[in-house]
Amino acid sequence: MYEEEKYEYICMRCGKKVRLDINEDPIRCTHCGFRLVMKPRHPVPRRYKAR
């Protein structure tokens, strides 16, 4: 059929990393059940301001 596409998200409530299948209907945190999860951002090098 189709391959499972699992992506890593971060829960907005408990802060844990969760691996979710995006083809599932309810996208929820597997630890606390909260619905809002976000993709983690890549670390960005900081630019320091000149003084």
Q: What is the pLDDT of residues 2-46, one digit of tens each?
A: 555 678 888 888 888 888 877 776 788 888 888 877 777 777 787
Structure tokens at 24: 């599932």
Counted domains in the chain? 1
Can you say which residues are annotated as belonging to the binding site? 14, 29, 32
44 inside domain: no
CA dihedral sign, ordered 1, 18, 28, 37: negative
Task: Kindly report the pTM of this predicted structure.
Answer: 0.57
How many Cα atoms are found within 13 Å in the side-chain-facing hemisphere of 4? 7
Can you say which residues are annotated as belonging to the binding site for Zn(2+)? 14, 29, 32
pLDDT at 1 over 60: no
Stated as kind and residue range, the H or E segment containing 11 is: strand 6-11
Residues 2/21, Cβ–Cβ less than 8 Å: no
pLDDT at 31: 83
pLDDT at 26: 73
15 inside domain: yes
16 inside domain: yes
30 inside domain: yes
43 inside domain: no
Residues 36/13, Cβ–Cβ less than 8 Å: yes
